[in-house]
Amino acid sequence: NIENINVNSKTKVINKKNLNVNNFVLKKPVKGGITTSGFGDTISRTASHNGHDWAVNTGTKVRAAAEGVVELAYFSESYGYNILINHNNGFKTRYAHLSEVKVSKGEKVEQSQVIALSGSTGFSTGPHLHFEVVKDGKRVNPIEYVSNR
């Protein structure tokens, strides 16, 4: 559902789904990276992947996809070091398998602020960033909300 719009003689491609979420468009949280697992991919006989994974070197800067407040910053067996940011509009974003967390619970963060370094902690097969988007309590496909800008 893509629409081309001509603006100042330049064509921009806009995903209409992004226009329907009150202009809530996320910035990609890492530069570069290769997609290794997408949302909904089968990861076991009983589970599907609930986020998007980009393979990046350990120590790659992880940036907040949008401004918000850090709701959680902790270690869990499955996610390893991870951060959950509340964007106060029904959206939350999670960043997982981090090697280093640079923010604390309750801290306000700006879009593109470095919040962590990527890693391979928790249930992980190698260095990458696991990124989730939660809308109104339900995990949704992050790529539907991420701009590459």
Per-residue pLDDT tens for 91-133? 999 999 999 999 999 999 999 999 999 999 999 999 999 999 9
Residues 90 and 64: their CA atoms lie apart, in Å, by 16
- Smallest CA-to-CA distance from 98 within 84, 82, 76 is with 82
Which of 48, 53, 15 has the alpha carbon at shortest distance from 132?
A: 53
Half-sphere exposure of 133 (CA within 13 A, CB side): 25
From residue 115, give the alpha-carbon distance in Å to each of 14, 109, 134.
28, 8, 18
pTM of the shown model? 0.81
Both tokens of residue 16? 């209409």
Q: Which domains does the chain have, with CATH numbers?
A: 26-147 (2.70.70.10)
Measured on CA atoms in the order 41, 49, 127, 59, is the torsion positive or negative? positive
**Cα separation, 144 vs 78, whole angstroms:** 25
Using a pLDDT cut of 70, give the percent of the chain over it.
Answer: 78
Q: Provide Rg for the chain, Cα atoms.
A: 15
